[in-house]
Each structure stands twice: as C-alpha cells, then as structure tokens.
Amino acid sequence: MMIVGLVILVLVNITILSVNSSRKYSSYGLGRVTISMIAPLQKVATRLSHFAKSVWNNYFYLISVAEENDELKSAVKRLVEKNNQRLETEITNSRFRKLLDLRASVSHDIAVAEVIGKDPSQWFKTIIIDKGSSEGIKKGLPVIVSGDIAGQVSDVSSHYSKVLLIIDRNSAVDALVQRNRSRGVIKGASDGECQLDYVLRKHDIKPGDTVISSGVDGVFPKGLRVGYVSDVTKPDFGIFQKINVLPYVDFEKIEEVMVILNPGEKGLLSGSRP
C-alpha cells in the first residue's frame, strides 16, 4: 500500500514539474517578492567578494613574495594598495567608457545594470541585475553586453531583475549565419556553449562564421552578434547539421549588462561592427 502511494506521489510530482517546465518564467508573483528580498543581500555579498578578491590578488600575494625589511614592506603595501585602487579605477573607467561609447552608438534606449548575483544552481544559467521595473525594465526585454546578446529578462521586481542567459537550456534565439544568411535557433548547451539548431544540411557553414540575431523572434533586434561557429558536424542521417556556437559574451566575467528598453522600435546598431 505504501509503495503504491509512493509511486503515485512520484508520478504526481513528475507531472507537476513537467507542466511547470513547459510554462516559461512562472513563479506565480513570488519571484518579485523573493528577488526584492534576496537581491540587496546579494549586492552586498558581491561587493564584498569583489573587494576580497582584489585584496587577495593584489595585496596578500605580494606580501608573501616580499622579502624586504618592514619599512620597505609597509611602503610597498601602501603603494600597491594605491596602485591597485588606481588600476581598478582605470579598468572600471575603461569599461564604463566602452559602455558609454556603445550607448551612444546604439539606436535604442538602454539601461545599464550591474550583475549582483548568479544562479545558485549549476544546472541553470541566470543572473540577477540591479535594475527593475522602476527603471523601465520589463519581462522579455533583451539584454546585451558590449553589443553582443547576453540573454533576456525573465522576472522583474521594482529594483532588481532576473536575466535568463542564452547559455541556459531553456533559452532560444532566432538567429542567422552572417555570411550566408542560413537561419536557425540558438539554444543553450553545456559548458557555456550554445547550439545552432534546425540549420539544413545543404547550407555551407564553416567554423569561425559569425552568428547574429535574425530579429524574427520579436525579442532581439536584428543584427546583434550572438557568437561564432566553433564546430560543425553533419551526421550520417537527418536533415539538419549539428553546429556548436561559442558566445561572444564571456559569461564567467560578466559584471555589467545593458537592457534594451525599446527593442521593437528600431533595427540595427547604428555603427558597423567587426
């Protein structure tokens, strides 16, 4: 009797999970409350992590290799600390300058946001950013990094949002191979890569080809870069080829992103890109 009950429980559980996975972004409003609750803490923790990392990389490491006397050591420490601050400011400045340059070249309204948390699960790829509905962010808006596609807003609270990255298996972006305009769908795969699905065997795709958004999905404006083809396999059977795509965005080092607030209004980026 207990075994029958257990089997029924498992079946009900699987059914509920299957139904929920077929529904996109459904956290029944709880998402907003939870993100609002957790995100400020994540923001503090992220800042602390950055600080600890910078101290570890530039301060303690140097202490261990310094064999000078105490006076020199403290002088070096002070200089290193100052230098580290200067370097960090320089890097941040150059990053912000790039963002501003890009912001000027993009013909859309843009909101720049900082990444304050990553998906606590290894199996899914999302990030939490520090901009929400009060800054004009809405569910479904495209998210880019230096003009390359990073993902799509999947949940929004008043000051924070969750972004589903293109390397997540639930993500899909309608895409084109820039060189010969072959169409396919970019889907997330393992190891931070993507796959370009549904490209017919007859199309000539080569490693190194750039993949861009087609604009057909109504989410991403046409012409944004997604990644480049890293591997092409034509199986012995089937009508499609297997294409691996390496995203241009380095999701391991992602710190700031830009959300396109009016993706449907205009088309391409105004500047030409390499």
Partner 1 sequence: MIYLIHICVGLFLMILQSSVKPYFKLFDGFYDLLSVFVIFLGIYRPVRESLSMAIFVGIVMDTLTGGPFGLYLTIYLWILFGIRAGISFLHIKSFFLLPIVISSGVLAGSIISSFVAGMAASEAVFFSKALWMAAEQVFWAVLTGTLLLSFIRYGYSKLNRWQNELFIKKGTHGFFRRAEK
β-bridge partners, 118: 127
Spell out the residues 6+ positions from residue 201 whose beta carbon is closer than 8 angstroms to its own: 234, 238, 239, 240, 241
Contact 152, 144 (CB under 8 A): no
Select the residue interacting with partner 1 from 53, 95, 138, 181 (CB under 8 A).
53
CB of 51 to partner 1, least distance (A): 11
Shortest Cβ distance from residue 117 to partner 1 (Å)? 4
Give how far Cα 169 sits from Cα of 56, 123, 193, 194, 235, Å.
34, 9, 10, 9, 22
SS3 content of the chain, % helix, strand, coil (to 5): 35, 30, 35
Subset of residues 203 to 242 that bind partner 1, contact rule: CB under 8 A: 242
Report in angstroms how near the CB of residue 154 gets to partner 1 at its nearest.
Answer: 7
Site membership for partner 1, residue 190 (CB under 8 A)? yes
Applying CB under 8 A, among 8, 11, 49, 104 the residue interacting with partner 1 is 49
Compute the least distance from the CB of residue 83 to partner 1, in Å.
Answer: 22
Q: How many CB atoms lie within 10 A of CB 7?
A: 10
Residue 125 binds partner 1 (CB under 8 A): yes
Pick between residue 111 and residue 165 the one whose CB is nearest to partner 1: 165
Q: Which is nearer to partner 1, 211 or 269 (CB)?
A: 211
SS (H, E, C) 136-177: CCCCCCEEEECCEEEEEEEEECCCCEEEEECCCCCCEEEEEE
The least CB distance from residue 38 to partner 1, in Å, is 6
Residue listed under structure tokens 């400011």: 89
Among positions 17, 72, 79, 100, the unique one binding partner 1 when judged by CB under 8 A: 17
Per CB under 8 A, residues contacting partner 1 are 13, 16-18, 20-21, 23, 26-28, 30-31, 33-35, 37-38, 41-43, 45-46, 48-50, 53, 116-126, 128, 154-155, 162, 164-165, 168-170, 187, 189-191, 195, 197, 242
